[in-house]
Structure 1
Amino acid sequence: MKGRIRFNVSTLGCRTNLAEADRMTKELEMLGLEHVTLEGNPHLCIINTCTVTQQSDRKSRHLIRQAISHTKGGEVIVTGCYADRQAELLRSIPGVTSLYRNQDKEKIVVDIRRELERWEGSLTLKAPDRRRVLELTHTRALVKIQEGCDQGCAYCIVPSVRGKPRSLGLDQILQEVEGLIWPGCKEIVLTGTNIGKFGQDTGEGDLAELIKVLLERTEIARIRLSSLELNYLSPHLRSLVMEDRRVCRHLHIPLQSGSDEMLRKMNRSYTVDQFVEITQEMQEKVPGLALSTDLMVGFPGETERDFELTCELVRKIGFARLHVFKFSERPGTPALALGEKVEEETKSRRSRCLMELGEKLALNFKQTQVGQILELLVEKDSGEGRYIGMSDNYLRVSFWSPRALHRGDLARVLVKATRGAEVQGELVASPDPRAAGTAITVVEPINNRQGEQRCKESWWPRRTQERRF
């Protein structure tokens, strides 16, 4: 019966949700279940919901209805932040068979396994398939290192549904990263509700110490950071980004507003001057650094001048990518008591202006990379010698290669041109020399961290250990 059980894991929202969904998918496949899309009419569906905005609530309800329709009387399990906030509402929906709070999410697969054992007797794990495990990592594997937040931003409902900061243990994180290296994963993305809080509750060091341990004790080729609050970008962490090429030249630092008055009302923990000082230092010392950010428009009391200050600051910093959100009222958050609501039409206009500015800045950043040699992680074979890969500074590049490449290879590519939003290049070095298992000489591109060309001897033995579960 195991081979005939189809399942689907669908998720909305943040990278923490995505990391949790990836893990559940892998674990269920290890039990012998078949992963399908919703259109594949699964017997079992897990919905990992989001509630960060009103739109997220609507999307969560829509996805739940879709799952109920496609499972045709099967199991529909709902979890995530919307399930935490609207548990009674979701329990009343015909077709929702189980509900798990965020703090109980780890029990989902345990309970499914127990149910399978009850029907099928003793259950034996399948041997892991390297190719399938790598497919489930989305090329860049998400590694959850903590969850929960007590930052207290006036607009945010996340602390009430994710709880206080809780870090995973260092050994657990190391084991997961080693398990991802085993099938051939080259890049991990450290993610969580507020990754800057890592280690504060366990005493195992902070985020910078975690990265240092991963660099020293694993052979992962790239470490990327997900969203990181400015006040946790410590001097130690900044030095790691500046000095170690295995730490990706991409930082996503939420700004929210370029007005000190708005930042104060939002209960953000920095000023505009502090944000400029740190980001400009990073841009000066890390050539090719991509900075991306979150921006909120329409927060209660935001004036036209506040919005203009935001636009001015965004231009000054020159972000490579903007994520723009309209303020959304969330029950129980301090922002509801502020009054001075901004009209929806004004929110929409300001959102459009920032998104248009973001498109121009993104194009400007891409053009600065023309003539640079970037190391790309191959994501897709487009056919006829064309491939698509992601650089460490978060550029997706379409490039030509005279030799066959595979998903997950690392390749050095010269950026030749931009065509609209597309970045184009061509291969200039053999793919993924670090997987060869022999001593090699790597010629660093001209745009290295110190800005000078050099050679170095590298040793990257092939991993042979079994994956631990």
Structure 2
Amino acid sequence: MPSVAFYTLGCKVNFYDTEAIWQLFKKEGYEQVDFETAAADVYLINTCTVTNTGDKKSRQIIRRAVRRNPDAVIAVTGCYAQTSPAEVMAIEGVDLVIGTQDRDKLMGYIAQIQSERKPINAVRNIMKTRAFEELDVPDFADRTRAFLKIQEGCNNFCTFCIIPWSRGLSRSRDPQSVVKQAEQLVAAGYKEIVLTGIHTGGYGDDLDNYRLSDLLWDLDKVEGLERIRISSIEASQIDDAMIDVLNHSRKMCRHLHIPLQAGEDSVLARMRRKYTTAEFADKIRRLHRAMPGVAITTDVIVGFPGETDALFEQGYRFMKELGFSEMHVFPYSKRTGTPAARMEDQVDEDVKHERVHKLIDLSERMQLDYAKKFIGEVVDVIPERDYKGAPNSGLVMGYSGNYLQVVFEGSEALIGELCRVKITEAGVNECRGQLVRVLDAGAAAARGGDARKPAALPQALEA
């Protein structure tokens, strides 16, 4: 039986794409072997190019694959392959470069290489691609949450980002295809689906009179699906229709990840973001009014060119005022080929890291403040694993709909089940809870949300 080994760098979408590619190999009778420990007939490296470091790491992994089995077919896909195919082809031992499209032709290319042993550069201009690449992923899950890719590409062209050039313009998956795969995932036993993409909130930009909010309502009708989570959405994409579905759908998780990137208007303008701080704050306040108790997490880039101490402090105060439930903080990293890399007033690395630590400290305080609000409350939790991966520990860990990581007493039998858990102790990265009961299928949808205490739950069970 022929064998294939995979190595994936970068984001969750890349991991999703690798799983889709594995389905192609599986249909051709391949077995999957470990990249690090077994010799394979084919090595496929799914690369990342979001930073210069991502390019370097991708090259290192490609060379490692060549050393592991010089006679194997070395295939390279992903964002670095798309933006720099000549660089990849120049690495001795590389047989195939295929980029971020045409992966459905992969097996034909590999068969051709095995027959002729001639390298193939199959990368095309991604900007001319207008269709979503449909690849079968019957079961891609992160423990108990199944991921469902609904969108590809991005139209934003932020000055710090190379992704539109590696993934192309925004393309949406056919709504019927999305709903069909959601039904398949539910039939496989998954209770929560995470909608993901390169620019997930841009779903529908290329469709006629059908937006992400319409898709959410269609997914709301999927029987047996109990939680729907959006991996990320831009503030500019939160309109009245989106707020309506977030507030009234009984299956939408009360958690949104909304990238801010900077808390000061002149920095946002240089980033070419599509909002001001005032507009961003208005969307956040509207969400809090529509969904009391909603968890809003965000991304922040620190030390963008031209960010002075005064501008950073202004942004710091803005973030503190908004009170996120968590912030993911990154130092700005030059990406060759982007406008930001050519900007003047680049910030010193030591200054960046000092600011990063200051925002991480703020994030941890906000995390704790948010979690404390739920002490004594009963929330839905789907246990994902034994606590810290220790079997028979007597503790399990899972996430609530509003993205609290909760640890409570329970056996492995609870993993994947929808549980009602009372929060007894708040923490920065995890909360402690007490199991109240395990819900029947569909009970959460009938009750209608995580951050509101259900009147139907007997008072004796909450005490």
Q: If the length of structure 2 is used for normalisation, what is the TM-score?
A: 0.85
**Cα 1:114–1:424 shift into 2, 3 Å:** farther
Tell me the equivalent position of 1:458: none
2:47 is equivalent to residue 39 of structure 1 = no
Question: Residue 340 of structure 2 is aligned with which of 335, 340, 358?
Answer: 335
State the Cα RMSD in Å.
2.9
The structural deviation recorded for 1:10 is 2.5
Tell me the equivalent position of 1:7: 4
**What one-letter code is carried by the residue in structure 2 that aligns with 1:433?**
D
Distance 1:448 1:341 in 2: 44
CA contact (8 A) 2:334 2:341 kept: yes
2:455 is equivalent to residue 453 of structure 1 = yes
Tell me the equivalent position of 1:128: none
The residue matched to 2:262 in structure 1 has which SS? coil
Distance 1:318 1:307 in 2: 17
The residue matched to 1:389 in structure 2 has which SS? strand
Tell me the equivalent position of 2:180: 175
Tell me the equivalent position of 2:47: 49
**Cα 1:194–1:414 shift into 2, 3 Å:** same
Tell me the equivalent position of 2:432: 424
**Cα 1:28–1:201 shift into 2, 3 Å:** same
Question: Residue 375 of structure 1 is aligned with which of 377, 380, 394?
Answer: 380
2:167 is equivalent to residue 162 of structure 1 = yes
2:99 is equivalent to residue 90 of structure 1 = no
2:359 is equivalent to residue 354 of structure 1 = yes
The residue matched to 1:339 in structure 2 has which SS? coil
CA contact (8 A) 1:389 1:396 kept: yes
Tell me the equivalent position of 1:298: 303
The residue matched to 1:263 in structure 2 has which SS? helix
CA contact (8 A) 2:80 2:99 kept: no
**What one-letter code is carried by the residue in structure 2 that aligns with 1:143?**
L
The structural deviation recorded for 1:284 is 3.3
- Deviation per CA, 1:415-438, whole angstroms, max 9, x where unpaired? 2113563321121112x5107xxx
CA contact (8 A) 2:226 2:444 kept: no
Distance 1:412 1:345 in 2: 46
* Poorly superposed stretches of 4+, deviation over 6 Å: 113-118, 440-443
**What one-letter code is carried by the residue in structure 2 that aligns with 1:377?**
I
CA contact (8 A) 1:24 1:109 kept: no
**Cα 1:290–1:112 shift into 2, 3 Å:** farther
Identity level (%): 34
2:228 is equivalent to residue 219 of structure 1 = no
CA contact (8 A) 1:378 1:389 kept: yes
Between 1:357-366 and 1:341-350, the stretch displaced more is: 357-366
- Deviation per CA, 1:141-190, whole angstroms, max 9, x where unpaired? 22111111121211111111111111111122122212212211111111
Gaps of 5+ in 1: 119-131, 456-469
Distance 2:196 2:215 in 1: 12
CA contact (8 A) 2:306 2:345 kept: yes
2:256 is equivalent to residue 251 of structure 1 = yes
Between 1:265-274 and 1:385-394, the stretch displaced more is: 385-394
Distance 2:402 2:228 in 1: 11
Q: If the length of structure 1 is used for normalisation, what is the TM-score?
A: 0.84
**Cα 1:6–1:368 shift into 2, 3 Å:** farther
Distance 1:214 1:138 in 2: 21
**Cα 1:100–1:406 shift into 2, 3 Å:** farther
Distance 1:112 1:409 in 2: 42
**What one-letter code is carried by the residue in structure 2 that aligns with 1:151?**
N
The residue matched to 1:428 in structure 2 has which SS? strand
Gaps of 5+ in 2: 117-136, 458-463
CA contact (8 A) 1:146 1:192 kept: yes
The structural deviation recorded for 1:115 is 8.6
The residue matched to 1:40 in structure 2 has which SS? coil
